[in-house]
């Protein structure tokens, strides 16, 4: 199928059909793995300004490597409707250079879906859940106030071919985990009853997997907040609160495609401890990684705050591993039978920028921010901080039963994340 698609695209150009405008040319690009390690599903981002195209309103860039068409997509990264990034993933041998061709077509090939983002809402207690791509929630619209849970899976979920996650958009803003037993994208009706109502049906095992993580009042896996010398500041509230400490929370599925799904949140007027902040969070997932990337920036910092990134510690009885042997990143890692009821082996990790890392602390066992290891990171006003959250469940890959195997995976993935692909036009 890949060769057929490639042939059709190339045939169109050779005949000079209307498949591309006269101003558009095929473009050769060289990609080089600058490291001595193997890269698998390495994300590649090429800016639109780097491509030789004048008018691309009706055509699609196609990535061709040899005789294969590489699954790709275009993203709008700055929030408008015009794409500015060509995104795809590729494998590289150590120090390998690959030559690709960017061709153009009026027809976008159908690629296998390896990432997804999902969000649904019911307009009232008796209304069915409908899919949505964006939402605004005010401080007085929490479940305890309106009397019901309005969001499918308590908020948006995202996944790739390895693992899935969900965000508690209902004011809690923690990150939960879906363990997957299959590479296929999970059904769209996860979290919805047969009658279209919001239903917690994902804590039972299905063919695709299930929710495997107890979160409680922790930040989950990769949730964040702020800390000062004397206080921990949770972004949002708990399930027992009726009014949010964030005046307005907005959400948007910024991109959803075969190889990349991106979600963005804005937390406007986060009021806590006589302080007011505005926060932007961007979550990205691509194929092949047992995790996701998160980027956080905060406006209104006064200088005495640090960013805290959480790793839930409810069912973990084993020591926390702190690994610093990568030049760019520090790893905080746990591995135990730390799923619900301690039924399955589960490894979790957060991968943090070494230049920002200041250490870690443990949250209290009780309170509105509890049961978490908290990585402490330096953060400046309006300066983005990027980190990664990783999870390996034994029913996804049997080797994750072994602590050393999970550590090996996280170390290898951290090394891969450290590599920059050299792009030569």
Q: Are 265 and 78 in contact (CB under 8 A)?
A: no
CATH number of the domain that residue 60 is part of: 2.60.40.1180
141 and 85 co-located in one domain: no
How far is residue 45's CA from residue 47's CA, in Å, rounded to a whole number? 6
Predicted confidence at residue 80, as pLDDT, reads 79
Nearest to 72 by CA among 98, 48, 108: 108
192 and 146 co-located in one domain: yes
105 and 226 co-located in one domain: no
Predicted confidence at residue 59, as pLDDT, reads 82
84 and 196 co-located in one domain: no
> Would 424 be classed as within a structural domain?
no
Predicted confidence at residue 294, as pLDDT, reads 99
How far is residue 151's CA from residue 169's CA, in Å, rounded to a whole number? 8
159 and 306 co-located in one domain: yes
Mean pLDDT of 418-423: 98
128 and 106 co-located in one domain: no
Mean pLDDT of 306-333: 98
Predicted confidence at residue 14, as pLDDT, reads 38
CATH number of the domain that residue 204 is part of: 2.70.98
Q: Poorest-confidence range of 22-26, 217-221, 243-247?
A: 22-26
Q: Poorest-confidence range of 11-15, 202-206, 383-387, 396-400?
A: 11-15
Question: Percentage of the chain surpassing pLDDT 70?
Answer: 93
Predicted confidence at residue 74, as pLDDT, reads 95
3-class secondary structure, 62? strand
310 and 175 co-located in one domain: yes
Position 72 pLDDT exceeds 50: yes
Choosing from 60, 76, 110, the residue where a domain stops is 110
Position 22 pLDDT exceeds 80: no
> Would 50 be classed as within a structural domain?
yes
Choosing from 86, 110, 134, the residue where a domain stops is 110
104 and 237 co-located in one domain: no
> Would 425 be classed as within a structural domain?
no
52 and 83 co-located in one domain: yes
Domain of residue 34: give its range: 2-110
Choosing from 79, 95, 110, the residue where a domain stops is 110
Mean pLDDT of 55-79: 87
Locate 238 and state its tokens: 């708990």
3-class secondary structure, 1? coil
Position 218 pLDDT exceeds 70: yes
Predicted confidence at residue 24, as pLDDT, reads 65
Q: State the virtual CA torsion across 327, 329, 332, 333 in degrees, nearest 10.
A: -80
Model pLDDT for residues 342-357, shown as the tens digit of each residue:
999 999 999 999 999 9
Model pLDDT for residues 160-198, shown as the tens digit of each residue:
999 999 999 999 999 999 999 999 999 999 999 999 999
Pairing of strands 68-70, 60-65: antiparallel
Question: Percentage of the chain surpassing pLDDT 90?
Answer: 89
Predicted confidence at residue 17, as pLDDT, reads 39
> Would 224 be classed as within a structural domain?
yes
378 and 283 co-located in one domain: yes
**Prediction pTM value:** 0.93
Predicted confidence at residue 18, as pLDDT, reads 41
Number of domains in the chain: 2
Position 71 pLDDT exceeds 70: yes
> Would 308 be classed as within a structural domain?
yes
């Amino acid at each position: 199928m890949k060769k057929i698609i490639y042939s059709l695209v190339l045939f169109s150009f050779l005949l000079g059909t209307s498949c591309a405008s006269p101003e558009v040319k095929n473009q050769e690009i060289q990609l080089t793995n600058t490291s001595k390690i193997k890269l698998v599903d390495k994300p590649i981002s090429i800016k639109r300004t780097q491509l030789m195209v004048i008018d691309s309103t009706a055509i699609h860039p196609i990535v061709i490597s040899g005789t294969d068409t590489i699954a790709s997509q275009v993203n709008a990264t700055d929030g408008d409707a015009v794409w500015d990034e060509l995104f795809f993933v590729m494998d590289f041998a150590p120090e390998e250079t690959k030559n690709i061709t960017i061709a153009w077509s009026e027809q976008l090939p159908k690629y296998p879906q390896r990432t997804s983002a999902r969000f649904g809402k019911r307009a009232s207690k008796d209304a069915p859940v409908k899919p949505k791509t964006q939402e605004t929630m005010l401080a007085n619209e929490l479940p305890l106030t309106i009397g019901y849970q309005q969001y499918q899976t308590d908020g948006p979920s995202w996944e790739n071919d390895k693992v899935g996650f969900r965000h508690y958009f209902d004011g809690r803003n923690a990150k939960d985990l879906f363990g997957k037993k299959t590479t296929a994208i999970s059904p769209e009706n996860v979290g919805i009853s047969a009658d279209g109502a919001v239903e917690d049906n994902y804590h039972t095992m299905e063919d695709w997997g299930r929710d495997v993580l107890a979160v409680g009042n922790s930040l989950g896996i990769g949730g964040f907040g702020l800390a000062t010398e004397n206080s921990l500041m949770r972004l949002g509230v708990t399930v027992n609160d009726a009014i949010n400490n964030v005046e307005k929370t907005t959400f948007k599925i910024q991109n959803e495609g075969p190889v990349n799904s991106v979600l963005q949140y804005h937390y406007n007027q986060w009021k806590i401890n006589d302080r007011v902040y505005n926060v932007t969070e961007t979550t990205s997932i691509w194929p092949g990684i047992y995790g996701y990337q998160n980027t956080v920036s905060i406006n209104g910092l006064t200088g005495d705050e640090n960013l805290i990134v959480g790793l839930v510690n409810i069912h973990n009885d084993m020591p926390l591993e702190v690994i610093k042997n990568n030049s760019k990143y520090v790893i905080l890692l746990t591995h135990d039978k730390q799923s619900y009821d301690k039924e399955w082996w589960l490894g979790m990790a957060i991968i943090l920028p070494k230049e920002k890392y200041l250490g870690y602390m443990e949250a209290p066992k009780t309170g509105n921010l509890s049961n978490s290891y908290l990585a402490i990171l330096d953060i400046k006003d309006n300066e983005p901080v990027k980190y990664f959250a990783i999870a390996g469940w034994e029913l996804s890959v049997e080797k994750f039963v072994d602590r050393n195997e999970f550590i090996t995976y996280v170390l290898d993935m951290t090394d891969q994340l450290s590599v920059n692909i050299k792009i030569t036009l």
